[in-house]
């Protein structure tokens, strides 16, 4: 059994960690947090130069053609550093949708630009409150034009293109949904930035008015493709969440070692130790579930739907748990803007809902386990 990343993949993780430590210190994250920039453009270019944006994109489309295990280790580092760039929307959602369903021409148009850092993309799925569901998609497509409103769209205000889920039928079945590809800079889309709990990642409302769009994948197969895209993104996002969990745990541990109260390091009090031990437990469970997700993703295994849901749930719980308790260990200082604790707390709770909330994925996991048991 070799249920671990290879030495080469670990070297890539080390390289990513070193690169991000240098190019994406908390100070750089704060530039976006404080609204001085919409995202870190220099970092985005740097990630392209390192080959990280196209690591899972085949060479024929301008990528490095490495694979998804490599993308997992980079995702973990992006989460650890809270990188304020449209990485998850572009790489986990838009690029994965193109790879799964795009025509050769569509892939040729966008994937090389993603790999080179010249374009970012996103997935426009949600229309207000609620979790992923075909019934919730009202935006209509007819005759190659889209009409309707998507909200929230991750990184929607900076994206160059979007994969849009639209209604093309009214039978009440999954086959009513089709996907479209929209060049957001070509007109027909109104973009409005939305405030959100994690300002290091923007959210937007996109209003489509007779907007020209080309089909992505076959008509009526949109929901099937979306489900696959969300599963793949769930694994990748889970790695980001595990990276963030580990960093929050380290921050809490370091502070507990340094901070003196009642004449001793607070980390010598069992009440504090046990908080940190429990953070270690949840981060470890999440990491192990993520490894299984990574295996399923990289081999396109039939276990992927279940593995993705498990990784997603475990990592969401771990990041929420670690980030809130990191603040708790820090005491009053953890509730200041100056300390970085809140940035992890914000990211943890924003990523907990972006691909569908915890309860949605819990529901999915149980459905999928039942399906497997029935088979």
Partner 1 sequence: MNFDDTPQEAEFRATARKWMEANAPKKYEAELSKSSLGRIRLEKEEIVDVGKAWQKKKAEGGWACLHWPKEYGGRGATPIEKVIWQQEEGVYGKLTQPFQIGEGMCGPTVMAFGSEEHKRHYLPKLASGEHIWCQLFSEPAGGSDVAGLRTRAEKKGDDWIINGQKIWTSGAHYSDYGLLITRTDPNVPKHKGLTMFFLDMKSKGVEVRPIKQANGMQEFNEVYFTDVVIPDSQRLGAVGDGWNVSLTTLMNERMSIGSRLATGFPEMFEFCSNLMTEDGLAIDDPATRSKLASWAVKASGLKYTSYRAISSLSKGERPGPENSIGKLVSGTMLQDIATYAMDLEGAAGALTGADEETASGQFQQMLLSSPSMRIAGGTDEILRNIIAERVLGLPGDIRVDKDVPFNKIPTKGR
Chain residues binding partner 1 by CB under 8 A are 1-6, 69, 249, 253, 256-257, 264-265, 267-270, 272-274, 276-278, 280-281, 284-286, 288-289, 291-292, 294-295, 298, 309-310, 313-314, 317, 359, 361-363, 365-366, 369-370, 373
Q: How far apart are CA 54 and CA 50, in angstroms?
A: 9
Q: Which region, left, alpha or beta, applies to residue 96 given φ > 0 means left and ψ of -120 to 50 means alpha? A: alpha
User: DSSP state, 127?
Assistant: B
Instruction: Find the shortest distance in angstroms from Cβ 193 to partner 1.
Output: 33
Instruction: Find the shortest distance in angstroms from Cβ 130 to partner 1.
Output: 15
Closer of 85 and 266 to partner 1 (Cβ) = 266
Closer of 109 and 287 to partner 1 (Cβ) = 287
Instruction: Find the shortest distance in angstroms from Cβ 249 to partner 1.
Output: 8
What residues contact residue 268 under an 8 Å CB cut-off, 6+ apart? none
Instruction: Find the shortest distance in angstroms from Cβ 81 to partner 1.
Output: 21
Closer of 48 and 285 to partner 1 (Cβ) = 285
Name the 3-class secondary structure at 145. Answer: strand
Closer of 88 and 317 to partner 1 (Cβ) = 317
Closer of 185 and 274 to partner 1 (Cβ) = 274
Closer of 268 and 302 to partner 1 (Cβ) = 268
What residues contact residue 154 under an 8 Å CB cut-off, 6+ apart? 86, 88, 89, 93, 122, 123, 201, 202, 203, 354
Q: How far apart are CA 41 and CA 308, in angstroms?
A: 31
- Chain position carrying tokens 């790999």: 115
Q: How far apart are CA 251 and CA 244, in angstroms?
A: 11
Query: Burial level of 286, CB count in 10 A (0-12/13-18/19+)?
Result: buried
Closer of 174 and 250 to partner 1 (Cβ) = 250
Q: How far apart are CA 365 and CA 372, in angstroms?
A: 11
Instruction: Find the shortest distance in angstroms from Cβ 207 to partner 1.
Output: 33
Tell me the backbone φ, ψ of residue 89, rounded to 5 degrees. Answer: -65, -40
Instruction: Find the shortest distance in angstroms from Cβ 291 to partner 1.
Output: 6
Instruction: Find the shortest distance in angstroms from Cβ 70 to partner 1.
Output: 11
Q: How far apart are CA 228 and CA 238, in angstroms?
A: 15
């Amino acid at each position: 059994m070799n249920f671990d990343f290879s030495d080469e993949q670990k070297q890539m993780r080390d390289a990513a960690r070193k690169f991000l430590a240098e190019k994406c210190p908390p100070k750089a994250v704060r530039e976006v947090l404080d609204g001085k920039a919409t995202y870190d453009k220099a970092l985005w270019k740097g990630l392209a130069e390192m080959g990280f944006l196209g690591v899972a994109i085949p060479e024929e489309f301008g990528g490095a053609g490495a694979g998804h295990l490599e993308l997992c280790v980079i995702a973990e580092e992006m989460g650890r550093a809270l990188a304020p760039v449209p990485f998850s929307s572009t790489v986990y959602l838009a690029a994965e949708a193109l790879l799964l369903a795009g025509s050769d021409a569509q892939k040729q148009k966008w994937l090389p630009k993603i790999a080179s850092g010249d374009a970012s993309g996103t997935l426009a799925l949600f229309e207000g409150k609620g979790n992923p569901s075909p019934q919730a998609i009202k935006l209509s497509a007819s005759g190659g034009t889209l009409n309707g409103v998507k909200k929230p769209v991750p990184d929607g205000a900076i994206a160059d293109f979007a994969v849009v889920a639209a209604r093309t039928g009214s039978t009440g079945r999954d086959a009513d949904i089709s996907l479209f590809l929209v060049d957001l800079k070509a007109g027909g889309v109104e973009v409005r930035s939305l405030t959100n709990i994690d300002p290091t990642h923007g959210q937007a409302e996109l209003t489509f008015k007779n907007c020209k769009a080309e089909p992505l994948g076959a008509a009526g197969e949109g929901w099937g493709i979306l489900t696959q895209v969300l599963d793949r993104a769930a694994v990748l996002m889970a790695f980001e969440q595990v990276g963030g969990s580990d960093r929050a745990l380290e921050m809490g541990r370091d502070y507990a070692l340094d901070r003196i109260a009642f004449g001793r390091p607070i980390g010598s009090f069992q009440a504090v130790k046990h908080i940190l031990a429990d953070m270690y437990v949840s981060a470890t469970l999440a990491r192990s579930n993520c490894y299984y997700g990574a295996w399923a993703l990289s081999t396109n295994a039939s276990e992927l739907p279940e593995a993705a849901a498990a990784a997603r749930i475990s990592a969401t719980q771990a990041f929420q748990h670690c980030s809130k308790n990191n603040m708790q260990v820090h005491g009053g200082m953890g509730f200041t803007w100056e300390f970085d604790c809140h940035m992890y707390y914000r990211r943890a709770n924003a990523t907990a809902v972006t691909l569908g909330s915890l309860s949605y994925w819990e529901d999915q996991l149980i459905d999928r386990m039942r399906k497997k048991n029935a088979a």
